[in-house]
A and B are shown apart, each in its own frame.
Chain A
Amino acid sequence: MKKLISLFLCAVMILGLTACGSGTKTEATNPPAADSEVEPAKEETAAAEPGLYEVTEPITIEFWNTYGDETKQAWLQDAVDAFNASQDLITVEMKTIVDYGPMDEQLTAAQAAGKGLPGLAFINAPRVLTYAANGMTEPLNAYMDACGFELDDFNAGMMDAMKPNGSDQYYGIPWGISSAVAYWNVTMLKECGIDEVPETWEQVREAAKIVKEKKGVKTIGFLSELNYTEVMLRNAGADPLGDGQTADMFNEHIVSFMKEYKEMIDAGEAEFFVGTDQNTNILTAFYSGQLACMMETSSIVNAVATNSDFEVASSFGIRNVADPCISCVAGGAAIVPAANDQQVKNAAFQFLMYLTSKENVASWSSVGNVYPIRNSVMNDQAYLDNAFAYEPMLENIYNGLPGVVSKNKTPYQTSAYKVLLNAMGQYFYNGADFDTVWSAAEKEINLILAGG
């Protein structure tokens, strides 16, 4: 009996392996999608057959979004309902998966399973290029050409974040874009005799000494998170990930900034917030008057104004070696999964066209506290007057908007920053020698950037 069971078990295991093996061979013979060599073919097809991107039969598609907030959900549901009512062929069904992490997990699970992918999904903007590099997202240029997408009206910096290095193909459309900006406790500055909100890094350093002396608290703090650290380091003069293929960790500007920031931390003038509760900690520190300036997302501008029981001001960023200062595209982006049927992709793009109409962009920017992605909205004085009347801090932030640029375009940015942030934490707080920890991080990051 035991022998019988053993034989049976072996047979099933071997069958399982064989079945997987043969299936894979078939899969592997498919040409890789969305790689650079495939793109021109798609563009040619689009030019020859604009009808290829039309929806010709009734179809239902799923739309996955990441917004747990009731107001935002309600806005999106209204948009979905209005779109469904505006035409007869496409029915959009909305599904909410709160937060980018679970969205990534569900999308990759559906991709791996080969079924259950949505027609349209909102994902974390830096993931667009990772997905694009793996052929998971549909290149959209052909759809844009065929459907009359007003590309020129979209913010160039935000759109650039949707293109891989050396490619003209857009793999997503910005949606819900925000960036790291600086919020200042003006009351505290005034109490310390600082009448002007510091704009440059030098001014921040000077202010930090005064604030420490007079109030005994820290002046500047940012999160150990990609969105904020990249902005701080690139404004300091260099991108630690270099050209996205070889790291530039020992660039003199970066080394200098790291050492200056360490000095400030040791002097009790600055903080690099780490840990799972870092976001709560930075907000608590700011609202409780333990921190004069926090680098946080532009999308919480209303919350900062409401929760601060002191005079508060914002600025697009802190000008350092990079002048004018920059801030990197953060927030979300809409993607069309490439593995879907052509009709599903066509329908998804039609819905995306609807979502990104000028009226919707203006309305969503107000509801979602996000940057208007269309130039026509940004240049609409009536829109701006309304927005600034509602929240005056937006004016300083919007003034810097031409400085919104793409993050480093390596598809491995998230993985590389995991190593970088870890090294920063070790140097700042764990007593690690800078050269040792930075060399080890550079070695590891170079391996990651090389795809290894």
Chain B
Amino acid sequence: MNNIINTRTAAATRKKRKYSKQNFLEFLCVVPALALILLTAYYPIADLFRISFTNWNMIKPTYEYVGLTNWKWLIDTWEINHVFDSFIVTLKYTIGHMAIILVLGLALALLFNRMTKGFAFMRSVVFLPHYVSMSTAALIFTVILNERYGIANAILEAIAGIRVNWLMDGSLALLMMIVIASWRAIGYDMLIYLSGMQGISRDYYEAAMLDGANGRQILFKITLPLLAPTTLFLGVTQFISSMKVYALADVLTAGGPYRATEVIVYLIYTMAFVDYRVDRAAVVAVCFFVFLLIATLLTMNVSDRKVNYDA
């Protein structure tokens, strides 16, 4: 009996060793990729956190550790440091942008979800702006929306006899940012939704139709629920990328007028490269990072419970 147990134990140990060795070899295979990620993603984050405790300004050859001074600055000058204002501007932009691209992206996907050549062409047309870089788009729209010689006002004047100061009115400037970003991103969302729709089994639709479901019921009871993982994916990725908007604010409005479009990444950039306060920029960047992390974790947490992955 003891011999049998010993033999089994030895076999289990050998198997365990074999797996350990295999695991170790597999681990070695991912080490280069892991090292690259650590070096390019995690190390900068860790270093950012460290910089927030220094008085480094990038142009000074030396710096010292100043403890919580920069964090204290964030709190002490809360009323005039514009960080919160900037955060609100970013949030408004993100909500507006996401609302447009998710709703219209889905609507266009529903519209173009037919595999004919004509619709394929239409899909390409909608997707085309995605190839235009954000800076280029911003530059083109700066000309289009110019109050004096822009084509938008020329058309408006010809039709209604009015001129609008698109980029010099705070609310309008932010709206224009949202519209331009959405014009560029909508094709991408449409495409992702389309691929999500292609993944939904035809059986569900056939069964629903046999049961006498109408188009509205099919949309709300089958398509949308089964597109929930796609919506979640788009929601999370677009939320993060919208919160990080920079090029549009830089080229189109330079954060103006009167800080109305000063989004958080633009604020961080100006703090670091115009004011040379890298230390404070690091504090704001760390806060921003933590906010994004929490927001993403919360979303993922909700998605685990609410999103249907059965499609």
Which residues of A approach B to under 8 Å, CB–CB? 1, 4-5, 8-9, 12-13, 16-17, 20-21, 24, 27-28, 30-33, 104-105, 108, 111-112, 130-131, 134-136, 274-277, 280-281, 284-285, 290, 338-339, 412, 414-415, 418, 422, 425-426, 429-430, 440, 443-444, 447-448, 452
Contact = CB atoms under 8 A, between A and B. Distances in A.
Contact of A284 (B64, B80, B148): B148
B32 to A, nearest CB: 13
A32 B256 contact: no
Nearest to B167: A275
Given A277-B146, A425-B257, A28 B63 contact: yes
Interface in B1-55: 23, 27, 34, 38, 42-43, 46-47, 50, 54
Given A108-B276, A422-B258, A430-B258, A281 B148 contact: yes
Nearest to A107: B59
B198 interface: no
B50 A440 contact: no
Contacts of B54: 24
A447 B234 CA distance: 42
A32 B27 contact: no
A21 B167 contact: no
Nearest to A114: B61
B258 A426 contact: yes
Contacts of A16: 38, 42-43, 46-47
A9 B46 CA distance: 12
A282 B231 CA distance: 46
Contacts of A31: 62
In the A-B complex, the 10 residue pairs with the closest CB atoms: A134-B60, A415-B275, A134-B59, A136-B59, A112-B58, A444-B80, A426-B258, A108-B58, A276-B254, A16-B43
Nearest to A423: B258
B52 to A, nearest CB: 13
B274 A415 contact: yes
10 contacts: A16-B43, A16-B47, A112-B59, A134-B60, A136-B59, A277-B143, A281-B148, A284-B148, A418-B270, A452-B77
B65 interface: yes
A182 B106 CA distance: 55
B80 A443 contact: yes
A112 B278 CA distance: 11
A117 to B, nearest CB: 11
B191 to A, nearest CB: 31
B252 interface: yes
A22 to B, nearest CB: 12
A108 B277 CA distance: 12
Interface in B147-202: 147-149, 167-168, 170
A111 B27 contact: no
B23 A1 contact: yes
Contacts of A422: 256, 258-259
A1 B27 contact: yes
Contacts of B259: 422
Contacts of A429: 168, 257
Contacts of A8: 34
A27 B61 contact: yes
Contact of A5 (B27, B142, B273): B27
Contacts of A135: 60-62
B291 interface: no
Interface string B256-295: 1111000000000010011110000000000000000000
Nearest to A437: B258
A440 B80 contact: yes
Contacts of A412: 275
Given A17-B46, A24-B63, A274 B273 contact: no
B73 interface: yes
Contacts of B258: 422, 425-426, 430
